[in-house]
Structure 1
Amino acid sequence: MSYAGIVLAGGAARRLSGVDKPALPVGGKPLLARALTALADAEPVIVVGPERPGFGDVVWTRESSPGTGPVAALAAGLALVRTELVVVLAGDLAGVRKSTVDRLMAALGRASGAVLVDATGERQWLLGAWRAEALRDALPETVENASLRRTLGGLEIVDVPEEPGESADIDTPEDLDRFS
């Protein structure tokens, strides 16, 4: 089944002093490269954020107002999606794998989305497979600074329990130390 990929890679990284999180090396590989590897079967892969050299065959785009949150970034990426299905990933995921994406796609069925649920039972909104039309329909009129949970929470969602470490992301210096 064909699907597109969207990687949201434009956050401010306030807890990491504004560093370019997707470019941070974890295990010798930039975080963005980890997301792109997980999306190996996606066509196209759209990265929403500042263009970075060395990431090959991806489509780059930006929100109309950069820095206005993940819903605005999602809207920018969705504008370029022509497939029925799309996998949406954050650009700071240290533990995401191709097998993660494969499990999300397999779980989607007829639902609007399939979202990874971490070990504490929390949905990881930026780790999911979706019907593109359901995402478009869920977008609020004003996407800037909108709540991602509020935007997507009303959709019919299949929860996919994570395998150990799949939802691990880098938000703090301690996270980076733990995975480096």
Structure 2
Amino acid sequence: MTSQTSGLAGIVLAGGHGTRLGGRDKPAITLAGRSLLDRTLDAVADADPLIVVGPSRPVSRKVRWTLEEPAGGGPVAALAAGLDSLTEPTELVVVLAADHPWLTGATLRRLVRRLRADGNAGGAVLVDGPGRPQWLLGVWATDVLRRAVPRDAAGRALGGVLAGAEPLHVSAVAAETSDVDTPEELSRALRDFEG
């Protein structure tokens, strides 16, 4: 991934309350011995820096931790906190949620290739089977992302903020966009990863 993604930073949103999972710490849930957060960090391992927005937890690689203001302010506030923590000049930023265990480095390489090949788009996001953009599975031009994310970020809808950047829509392959939000989705992930 490194040769195609020089100048790539990563922001992983790992907050939230896991309410649909009974208040569990969702990024800490393990599948076959690896937490959901570590699986996401594996997919974006070549990003530097790699910023995680959420409470500090044990992880398998070096990351920079930060928290959104106000706490619980939602994904736009979390993304704003990640961008505030990104002080290095970078060409592209991967923006991910911490609960997509089927995400891989190949997925992100595909998004980066599509974005760079286009030359005009501000970002590239995966779209699911019905064609819905998955805003927390994307790669963005850093300057475009900084312009799109407002300072008054708390409580804003992520899609409403990012759709204006008119990103490329890239069709997902297999289960790339599947996340773990509900007990049923967790059961599926456990079956897939632990057999």
By how many angstroms is 1:132 displaced?
1.3
Q: Among residues 157, 169, 186, which one is paired with 1:147 in the alignment?
A: 157
Runs of 4+ in structure 1 off by over 6 angstroms are none
> Residues of 2 paired with 1:132 and 1:73: CA distance?
16
Deviation larger for 22-31 or 116-125: 22-31
Work out the CA distance in 1 between the residues paired with 2:30 and 2:83.
27
Contact 1:101 1:129 survives alignment (8 Å): yes
2:52 to 38, 47, 61: 47
The Cα of 1:95 is off from its aligned counterpart by 1.0
Query: Does the CA-based 8 Å contact 1:35-1:91 persist in structure 2?
Result: yes
Partner-residue secondary structure (3-state), 2:164: coil
Task: List alignment gaps of at least 5 residues for structure 2.
Answer: 1-5, 191-195
Which of 102, 107, 112 is residue 109 of structure 2 equivalent to?
102
Determine if contact 2:80/2:150 at 8 Å carries over to the other structure: no
CA change 1:115–1:25 in 2 (3 A) is same
Corresponding residue SS for 1:159: strand
Aligned pairs, number = 180
- The reply to whether residue 2 of structure 1 matches residue 12 of structure 2 is no
Between 1:101-110 and 1:143-152, the stretch displaced more is 101-110
Whole-angstrom CA distance in 1 between matches of 2:108 and 2:137? 8
State the partner residue of 2:123. 113
Contact kept? 1:114, 1:159, Cα under 8 Å: yes
Q: Using the alignment, how far apart are the partners of 1:26 and 1:114 within structure 2?
A: 28
What are the superposed Cα offsets for residues 85-135 of structure 1, whole Å, 9 maximum, x if unpaired?
100110111211010111111111221100001111111000000011111
The match for 2:93 among 62, 80, 86 is 86
Which is helix-richer, 1 or 2? 2
Q: Displacement of 1:55 after TM fit? A: 3.4
- What's the TM-score once normalised by structure 1's chain length? 0.96
- Identity percentage of aligned residues: 51
